[in-house]
Structure 1
Amino acid sequence: MFNLAALSTLALGYTSVVNAQASSVAQLVGSLRQAPTVVDRLNLLQDSDLLFNFLEPPSGVTTGSGGHTVAATSGNFPGVVGNGVSMTIGFLGPCGMNTPHTHPRATEINFSLNTTLRGGVLVENGARFIDVEIAPGSATVFPQGAIHFEMNPSCEPAMFVAGFNNEDPGVQQVGQRYFGLPPDIVGAALGGLGVTEIQGLESKIPDNVAYGVDECLQRCGITRGNQPTAQLQPVDAGNSPSGISAAPASATAAGPSAAKPTSSNQPASSSARPAPSSSARASKPAVSQRPIGAPAVSDSPPYGARALETSSPAPEVTSFRRRA
């Protein structure tokens, strides 16, 4: 039976292996980018570097209550470097939604494998909203930089394949990133909402992949519950100006309806309250340690230190049956 010291040693050893693997991949990618010819680049690769297992990925997993996605990019798949391509596989549970997001450096072609998906896209200001049903065996295109989403409106697991014309397409979730802007700016853009209202709204933004619309949840007998919120934008000096402090516990618990808007002659951000210090933020873990579905703790820092990608195990969404 292991004692605490032995377990700690094992944990440190595992962390060292993971860090070493990440460093090794980064060094290899750097060398590949500097290779003068395709042949030189191939000579740097092992045969195994040209394979990526989406069912047992080394990294690139983003997990939420509604499923998970696995991304193979230049950050974790050296084989794509210099080839201008990458890929994400989406494993959506019943009513799961890949929440609205953009890819700043790539156009996406999205192929539905087994279930008709609901897709939507907004290309830019002035463009009409496009709503599509991506039937099994068909695909749609999301232009570079366009806001788009995919949702599984069925009560069965779904899977999609997203191909990109860039080895580093990038991804920016709209909700999580928007509320990572300075709260006084967010409040002003939303018509003058107060800071506590902004905090109440932000605290409800779930991790991707999230549960979708209520109609689907009711039809499939799924309770939304408290979804994890670990992927919100971290706080730094730039997006926590002039001392935005934590919302009162009552406002956090009751949501934005319980918070009173700031008076029109009182700015949302007041210099009377200092901004959270960097040392205070650093004392909090970067990744939420609570189980999936557990409510957020009330003593977390305002807009606290959150990870863009969680290490939580992905939900079991691995069996698929073709459905029209």
Structure 2
Amino acid sequence: MKFSTFILTISAAACISAQNTTNTNATRTAELLEGLQKAPTRLARLNVLGENTDWLFDFTSGLGTTRSAGGNVTAANVANFPALFANGLAMTIGQMEPCGMNTPHTHPRATEILYLVNGEMEAGFIEENGARFVKNTLTKGQGTLFPQGSIHYQTNTGCDPVLFVAVLNNEDPGSSQIAQRFFGLPPNVTQATLGDIGLQEVNDLSTGIPDSMAIGLDQCLQKCGLTRGNQTMGQQQPRTSDNALSLNMK
């Protein structure tokens, strides 16, 4: 067997093995969640989680990880870590690349407290109509809080990657990216909301929104001698007949 053929064979086998592992984990997770939902008491739920490893989540495994141009986040929630069931919390570990930004979003069912492991970060939120904008600059060892449902963001203002840890007080906190969801509405609704803007501009903006962890602020890029480059754009709102982009743009 040629060496190149051998490498391709090994790579294919590794992919199949990884897929099998993913399928096995998904089946196990589904079985555990079904058992936990049926368990009448907390002690009964403890018995459902009968393996010691049912209480272990590996944040380095790639499970629950979303990767974008500006960084990546790994979320442990009840969907991938059943031990969180009925415990009222979830956790996210995030890494932002130099000048990366976790774009504005909300958690509809949870308040978040965030801890910055290294570097420097700008973070801000707006809680509701009539509320003032709250912004802070965090340095290593500091944290901040984002109230449930508030629109909030974080951006790495430095030229090195930063790591943060976020804890949310719901095992199913949810996340809603503001730009992707807003521009996923019917284009004429978005157009009317923005006032004097054309449907062509709405369509262009709708298809150009980057993923949640994006390349961030211009002043940071200039300071660090970086360029924005290509953004990943896989998290845009799916289109149906009800919110389809305009065919006849004026």
C-alpha separation between the residues in 1 aligned to 2:75 and 2:115?
15
Greater strand share, structure number: 2
Residue 226 (structure 1) shift: 2.2
Q: Does 1:65 align with 2:89?
A: no
After superposition, give the CA deviation of every residue in 1:296-319 in whole Å (9 maximum; x if it has no partner).
xxxxxxxxxxxxxxxxxxxxxxxx
Q: Does 1:206 align with 2:210?
A: yes
Structure 2 length-normalised TM? 0.90
| Contact 1:68/1:208 (<8 A) preserved | no
C-alpha separation between the residues in 1 aligned to 2:39 and 2:183?
41
Residue 47 (structure 1) shift: 1.0
After superposition, give the CA deviation of every residue in 1:216-254 in whole Å (9 maximum; x if it has no partner).
0111111102212111011123322xx733x9xxxxxxx
| Contact 1:100/1:174 (<8 A) preserved | yes
C-alpha separation between the residues in 1 aligned to 2:240 and 2:11?
34
C-alpha separation between the residues in 1 aligned to 2:118 and 2:19?
37
After superposition, give the CA deviation of every residue in 1:98-126 in whole Å (9 maximum; x if it has no partner).
11000000000011111221000000000
Match of residue 47, structure 1, among 46, 52, 69? 52
| Contact 1:102/1:146 (<8 A) preserved | yes
| 1:33 counterpart residue number | 37
| 1:272 counterpart residue number | none
- The alignment covers a number of residue pairs equal to 245
| 1:320 counterpart residue number | none
Unaligned ranges ≥5, structure 2: none
After superposition, give the CA deviation of every residue in 1:162-184 in whole Å (9 maximum; x if it has no partner).
00110000000111111111111
Residue 62 (structure 1) shift: 1.6
| 1:120 counterpart residue number | 124
After superposition, give the CA deviation of every residue in 1:263-283 in whole Å (9 maximum; x if it has no partner).
xxxxxxxxxxxxxxxxxxxxx
| 1:311 counterpart residue number | none
| 2:135 aligned counterpart, secondary structure | strand
| Contact 1:101/1:171 (<8 A) preserved | yes
Match of residue 78, structure 1, among 64, 71, 82? 82
% same residue: 45
| 1:187 aligned counterpart, secondary structure | helix
| Contact 1:106/1:144 (<8 A) preserved | yes
> What's the RMSD between the two structures over aligned residues?
2.3
Greater helix share, structure number: 2
Residue 7 (structure 1) shift: 8.1
| 2:189 counterpart residue number | 185
Structure 1 length-normalised TM? 0.70
C-alpha separation between the residues in 2 aligned to 1:7 and 1:140?
43
**Inter-CA distance 221–5: structure 2 relative to 1 (3 Å threshold):** closer
| 1:166 counterpart residue number | 170
Residue 192 (structure 1) shift: 4.5
